[in-house]
Chain A
Amino acid sequence: MPSNDTLRANDRGGGNEQCNYIRQSDRVYEHRESQATAMTVDYTGQWILLAGRRHLALQRLGEDGDEVCLRKYNTNSKYEVSAAEFAICPESKESCAIATSQHIDVVTWGAAEPRYIHSLRGHTRMVTDIDWHGKNPNLLVSCSIDTFSHIWDLRDSRKPTLSFSAVCMSGATQVGFNRVSGNLLAAAHDGDLRIWDIRKGSCPIHYITAHQNRVHGINWSHRRETCLATASQDGTVKYFDINNPRRAEKIITTTSPVWRARYTPIGNGLVSIVVPHLGRGENSLLLWSNSKQNDPVCSFVGHTDVILDFAWRPNRENQMEIELVTWSRDRTLRVWKIDDKMLKCCEPENDTNENYDICTQSRVGTPTKFQPPYCSSFQRVPVFRSQPVAVSLPVERADNVHNTIISRSPTLIATSARSSAHRYREETAVARSLTDQPTCSLHHEFSLLNTNMPHVEVDTLDAIKRFAMFNISAGGHVAVLHITFPTDYPSPNNSPEFEFCDGTTMHEPLSRVMLKVLRTNALQRVKKSRTCLEQCLRALVAAMKKSGGGSEKSHVRLQSPRLEGALSGALHDACIPFPRTSAATFNSVGMLCSFTQTLNTKRLTLRHQNITPRTLWATNGGGLLGNVMGEQPMLYAHRDSNASFYLQDRMTSKHSKNRSIQKANHSTAIVQIYECNKLLNISRVMASEYSLDKTDIIATCRKNRLVCENQGRYDLLPIWTMAEMIATPNVPLRKTKLSKMVLNEDPFKKALLESLIMHYAAVGDLQTSVILACLFHPGVANGYTGVASINGAPSGNAHGHGKIPILTPNTSPYHTVLPIDSHVSNSNKGTTNAIQLRSSSWSDSLDCVDSKFANNEMWSLSLIRRSKIPLFDHFKKLYAEILYGWQLLTTRSLILKHTVMLKCPRQGVEFVTECSGCNKTKRTPACGACQRPVLFCALCRIPVKGAANACLSCGHGGHFMHMKQWFEKHNVCASGCGCQCLQETDFLLECVK
């Protein structure tokens, strides 16, 4: 295990009061030919997987230096491996998940070949990170640029068991299961974190606005369930407690972007990778104490290039022995031992403070004090163990208070603190100027590139050699585009170089035009130091289509019109529900209108889902970022014919006449209107035919029974028979009040009638219910249905009325004026309450007593209990609305006359209308102040503009024609106020004369 590093002058002790070790790696493995982009350590800590585009390599980490075991498997994938993770549960320790492009392969390692166990397909864009569940060996989570985080259960790997959709325009870059409970999940989208609970729902339980810039690393604490650390492009590592998502608990600030930050599996530390600038990779791996953020505890030096990833190598025999494995772009794999001393330096010095919120003021502590109170396993092991293998280089500063640690290594170097501090400062200055690290951003740009772009096929993306190849076919041409990115790209005047290679079918002048398009577009972007690749490709496709002539014009036309302004369509689309393709709505008179349209391209948009997507942007097959990054924000009707069902709809509708009829099914937007009256037990015909003649309820019941029979409602026949029986007195007919009382006091009948009405209301047969309720409605309506000559009716029921001797309006001594209802008074003496007499001298209080008295009388004779009346009135009101919709205005008014609630208020029956303009009651047909008519037709309820007719007595009236129709058949007011309009008006007119 040759450590072929030349050890550099570790002349930096850090200009601070705290200890700062500098470590060289313990072991180094070189893989010159490897292009691995992902690295992971297996459960046993024996094997390290280096995964790259061309091959997967397994490196065995023997304890003894002699065995260098490397196994290599060629894969030759088109895409880079974006993430690889060994399972972390002992049950599944052979499994390893490798993410390439949009897919994740789960692989186990046999003796010879990797065996592909599962291929997890569900993401539509590049997978950016994978994490295994810490407890359940079958679960793993993956996140992708497509903004989804999918949880996969390997027992059913066909589709994700759970999908979390972050409604945002930035893809997920990192994801991590909670290490303690395993129920929480953190996903990073740009600078924000979303915390999900896998047990419930599709909403994040917390949003954390963590960083100003992209989050590169998420790591949950191994001990505290709600804590996690994030590393970000903005150069900070933040510790969050998700219970307090507003504020980071602690912040480590560095001058360069931080690529990863991970808690140490034991102890209280955290290791971060700072993305270095080119060629200066020494100080990029730092160990921090969780309790003090101003200085790292240790820095690991040796790598000469960017560290791509690191992992903890567990030692299954000795839990206290951990090693750090790092893989760098310098193509070396290094192993570093984390010894007790370092871990101890990470411990909070104040052991009584369990919250770790330690001030950074150092206090000399005795070694025993470093034992963490919360980590029992730590306490079991000896604090000082011998470290024979470590080639550590602890550099002590002269003023270091923790200099109990002796350098065991004979090699090197203790130099002046001053010079180290100086150099350190110098370097940080450089680092600041190059925060946006170029190689990193090209890699990043490639990873964000929409590989599903219409007409564009990605051939090669090589961030290391800094070039890319694309095959573009549009407008009848094929172009093979080679793009080389200068090292300073993207910065002003450093636009990529474009070149058409062999295979391009465009003729010379055209390709020159195309190159110009590319350059102009690139220049525009790089001028602002922005990346330009995707924009250039889109511009090229557009230009090629244009050159291809009119054949593609339909695409342009078919796009829904764009919105003005800088509305980012895709961003909004993500939270706009998927458009309905079908609907069915009832209207207020029992008609149902429905339409359904089949999505032709359902299989396209739903490749990975069994159900219809929920958001609008699912209609855009390209994915989300493609839209955002496009030249102009698009509405969801996508240009790509494959993804747009709108286009297909159009195409088929255009040609449907020539084509098969089945095609037309899908395309045309046809609305069906259904008559559902049967279903709803409501019939217009029956409504108009039902009789409400109360002079002879028995006969009316028979008549209504006939109506039902004629209309095919045989189920109602027994009901009307029963109603007839209810109406029939069960004692021999005696024309006395007593018999009437006996009749209507019959408790069985009352209960039966009420339950009948309630039953039909409850099952939705409102019509039957209302007609029954109206027919047996007591009181007022009896006298005013317009059906005269009750005396002539033989029915005992009706007859009884005439025999009630007390309290008719005429007998009231307070009514000094207008005995206008005289002709009915002898037949309707029991119904005084309803008669709204106008009287110049009546006293309200006395009248009230009067009518109350009468009321009681009336209700005592009623078959319907008084307490039920308001409810039944609601039924009638609703039924009246339906009748209004059918324009059966007369019937509607008749129904409403059988209500108590809708009667005119008691204050009088003057022509009083409230003007909705000034809210004052007006006694004139028009409001003088507002200059608008206030008369509403009593029949149709529409304001009367033209010919109007109103009762001079009660003031109700309406359209001339309506009034005329009404009074042809009736002589009482249509509003139900009880006024004998014709006579009263006559009388008044006579008085005027």
Chain B
Amino acid sequence: MVSLINTIDTGHEDMIHNAVLDYYGMHLATCSSDGSVKIFDVKNRNQVLVADLKGHQGPVWQVAWAHPKFGNILASCSYDRKVIVWKEGGANDWTKLYEYSNHDSSVNSVAFAPSEYGLMLACGSSDGSISILTCNTEYGVWDCKKIPNAHTIGCNAVTWCPSTVPEPAFDQKSSTRSAGIKRLASGGCDNCVKIWREESDRWVEESRLEAHSDWVRDVAWAPSIGLPRSQIASASQDRHVIIWNSTDFTTWSPTILHTFDDVVWSVSWSMTGNILAVTGGDNKVTLWKENNENQWTCINDDASVAGGQQSEQRTL
């Protein structure tokens, strides 16, 4: 089902904390505790280091690619309380486009908004707040909005609602104007997942999803293919991954995907929103799929990604 097409030795001097492919799958960005962000050309099974971005003074937790229509843009967030947006000027010439340092603690998560909203990103920090940065692309002016105290103790993850999620009352007419409302979800140390909605210049808490019994480590809003439902996956320190379903953004019903052996700290949806990749403290990658009976099953139990990886490494 899954075939390994490339293995990249990142050569970081310390642990890496995130690795993300760009939109086309041609570039790989990795970030590490050594404070650097590296970009690899992985086109056609290449593995050429094209940039080693040094600008952070602490471990870099997460990187995120912007939609390519804005150019090759990458955002990184770090323990040093900064968010840096990098841009490829010429070929493989990466420069700092913008640096945001208005957080009081480690910034744990960055996520770019759906491209329909323009160049916009959200960052969640351990100081409990969420920042939403918007770039006016032709003037290069950045605007910042902050949700102060979004999560007590700290915010660990942010994710955007896909712009194509249709309105609750789905019909032909309303669908054209549904794209306007921006939403994002965040998870934090208060064990909550919170949904935020933009309301005329402000971000207001729309709902609060409480089912986890420990810190929420990651949230991922499932891409929408247009079906009138929203799905959010949240991973938590309590070893649960919970799938939240809603049709109207107000009532969210939680389903526990699985209780894992160790803490889970990353969830990622496939682009059609039907496969969920989960990783956690036990360093296992599991892929989950919902069957027709609405039950989630692990689809890589035997010939797992992790297993494949190990055998791959053994042969190295």
Contacts of A575 in B (CB 8 A): 105, 126, 153-154, 189
Which residues of chain A from 645 to 660 have any CB-CB distance to chain B below 8 Å in the complex? 645-646, 649-650
Chain A count of residues within 8 A CB distance of the other chain: 88
Contacts of B33 in A (CB 8 A): 560, 579, 637, 646
Tell me the complex Cα distance, A631–B243, Å: 46
Q: Which of A673, A676, A761, A866 has the most CB of B within 10 A?
A: A673
Which residues of chain B from 274 to 308 have any CB-CB distance to chain A below 8 Å in the complex? 274-275, 277-285, 287, 289, 292, 299, 305-306
Q: Which of A577, A675, A680, A870 contacts B3 (CB 8 A)?
A: A675
Whole-angstrom distance between the Cβ of A37 and the nearest chain B Cβ = 35
Tell me the complex Cα distance, A315–B179, Å: 73
Q: Which 9 A-B pairs have the closest CB atoms?
A: A874-B226, A764-B274, A612-B281, A587-B21, A596-B283, A584-B277, A673-B6, A669-B16, A583-B266
Contacts of A501 in B (CB 8 A): none
Contacts of B156 in A (CB 8 A): 577
Q: Would you call A109 an interface residue if the criterion is a C-beta within 8 Å of the partner chain's C-beta atoms? A: no
- With A203-B191, A611-B263: A577-B42 Cβ-Cβ less than 8 Å: no
Whole-angstrom distance between the Cβ of A683 and the nearest chain B Cβ = 12
Contacts of A493 in B (CB 8 A): none
Flag if A586 contacts B269 (CB, 8 Å).
yes
Q: Would you call B166 an interface residue if the criterion is a C-beta within 8 Å of the partner chain's C-beta atoms? A: yes
Q: Which of B32, B225, B284 contacts A874 (CB 8 A)?
A: B225
Q: Would you call B80 an interface residue if the criterion is a C-beta within 8 Å of the partner chain's C-beta atoms? A: yes
Chain B count of residues within 8 A CB distance of the other chain: 106
Contacts of B280 in A (CB 8 A): 582, 612
Flag if B175 contacts A592 (CB, 8 Å).
no
Contacts of B9 in A (CB 8 A): 668-670
Q: Which of A576, A596, A649 contacts B306 (CB 8 A)?
A: A596
Q: Would you call A622 an interface residue if the criterion is a C-beta within 8 Å of the partner chain's C-beta atoms? A: no
Chain A residues engaging chain B, CB cutoff 8 angstroms:
167, 200-203, 560-561, 563-564, 572, 575-598, 611-612, 614, 616, 635, 637, 645-646, 649-650, 661, 664-665, 668-676, 678-680, 682, 761-764, 766, 866-867, 869-875, 877-878, 881-882, 885-887, 901, 916-917, 930, 932, 941-942
Tell me the complex Cα distance, A582–B260, Å: 15
Given contacts A596-B306, A672-B312, A675-B2, 4 further A-B contacts (CB under 8 A): A560-B34, A561-B35, A595-B30, A673-B4
Contacts of A761 in B (CB 8 A): 225-227
Flag if B227 contacts A762 (CB, 8 Å).
yes
Q: Would you call B88 an interface residue if the criterion is a C-beta within 8 Å of the partner chain's C-beta atoms? A: no
- With A575-B153, A675-B2: A594-B16 Cβ-Cβ less than 8 Å: no
Whole-angstrom distance between the Cβ of B304 and the nearest chain A Cβ = 11
Contacts of B171 in A (CB 8 A): 867, 870
Contacts of A598 in B (CB 8 A): 283
Contacts of A665 in B (CB 8 A): 310, 313-314
Q: From B277, which residue of chain A is reached at the shortest CB distance?
A: A584
- With A589-B23, A595-B16, A874-B225: A672-B105 Cβ-Cβ less than 8 Å: no
For this complex, 8 residue pairs linking A to B, each with C-beta atoms less than 8 Å apart, are: A581-B15, A592-B305, A611-B262, A635-B58, A635-B59, A646-B33, A672-B6, A867-B171
Flag if B271 contacts A585 (CB, 8 Å).
no
Q: Which of A583, A589, A762 has the most CB of B within 10 A?
A: A583
Contacts of B285 in A (CB 8 A): 582, 584, 594, 596
Flag if B69 contacts A941 (CB, 8 Å).
yes
Flag if B58 contacts A560 (CB, 8 Å).
yes
Tell me the complex Cα distance, A872–B305, Å: 33
Contacts of B262 in A (CB 8 A): 611-612
Flag if A674 contacts B272 (CB, 8 Å).
no
Contacts of B228 in A (CB 8 A): 871
Tell me the complex Cα distance, A875–B34, Å: 42
Q: From A564, which residue of chain B is reached at the shortest CB distance?
A: B57
Tell me the complex Cα distance, A751–B268, Å: 34
Whole-angstrom distance between the Cβ of B248 and the nearest chain A Cβ = 17
Contacts of A563 in B (CB 8 A): 57-58, 80-81
Tell me the complex Cα distance, A619–B286, Å: 25
Flag if A676 contacts B225 (CB, 8 Å).
no
Contacts of B299 in A (CB 8 A): 679
Flag if A882 contacts B15 (CB, 8 Å).
no
Flag if B277 contacts A885 (CB, 8 Å).
no
Q: From A759, which residue of chain B is reached at the shortest CB distance?
A: B292
Whole-angstrom distance between the Cβ of B28 and the nearest chain A Cβ = 6
Flag if A560 contacts B35 (CB, 8 Å).
yes
- With A575-B154, A916-B138: A167-B189 Cβ-Cβ less than 8 Å: yes
Whole-angstrom distance between the Cβ of B179 and the nearest chain A Cβ = 11
